[in-house]
Amino acid sequence: MVEPLGNVHLTKALTNGITHIDSAECYNTDYEVAKAIKQSKLLRSDIWITDKYFAEDDPYQHLVAALKRLDTPYVYLYLLHSPFIKIKFRGFDLSEAWGFMERCKKEGMAKNFGVSNFGVEDLKFNQIVFNAFLQNQTPGNNIQLEPYSPLGPLYKGDLKAGAGKTQILLHWVSAFGIVQIAITSKETRLAEFLDIFDGFELTPEEIEQITDIGKTYKPVLRQCWKPEYSKFVS
């Protein structure tokens, strides 16, 4: 269900410099995204849209339909939303799904493509959970890590003068050179996103402290992060 004010907040985010839109089939926000982009009056080339395939038709047919809803000829990044793609459920396996992704790029519908919620594999993009309490999926092998849920709870060390937990945690993620994705339906939280690099910096000691705190606790893992799903197998 789309928040009633979602379009308003997205338009405000775009006009204030937050130009990465993370979309997906299961988010059901394509029409709102299209409307916000139009209202922002920004050039299409100045907005990065990420879309994700999950279950509809096949990755190619899904993106064809999604681009119509988004009212755009392409997305900058197109991801397989999870590794759960098997012939008995979809009629094609992961290797064939990857072929659909390649076709999308070849036809100019996606500038880049990758995966989401996979383990570390030799792929260019991997969008996963990454926060102070889940640090085991580190980038390497020329993989660009793009995490969601960077605002894992933080208590100790979140009282730095002039900053809240949101700003501190986003600063911590940025210290690792990682693309950040965060979500909100609150105008106050949006204001925090817009101000994360104004007025304060984390010291190397504070970054290390948060890292150490996170390593002390084990998070509850989503299904695709459990050991049996650490490799994509069709």
Scan for tokens 């002390």, then name that residue: 216
**DSSP β-bridge partners for residue 116:** 127
> What DSSP string describes 99-111?
HHHHHHHHTTSEE
Active-site option among 27, 62, 74, 217: 27
Residue 52 DSSP SS3? strand
Active site residue 27: yes
Instruction: Tokens for 150, please give them.
Output: 């960077």
Active-site option among 53, 60, 62, 81: 81
Q: Where are the alpha helices (DSSP H) in 59-217?
A: 59-70, 87-90, 94-106, 165-174, 187-194, 204-216
164: amino acid identity, one letter = G
Instruction: Tokens for 7, please give them.
Output: 């379009």
Q: Is 117 left (phi over 0), alpha (psi -120 to 50) or beta?
A: left
Scan for tokens 């995966």, then name that residue: 115
Torsion (CA) 148, 154, 160, 165 in degrees, nearest 10: 40
121: amino acid identity, one letter = E
Active site residue 81: yes
Q: Which sequence positions are flagged as catalytic? A: 27, 81
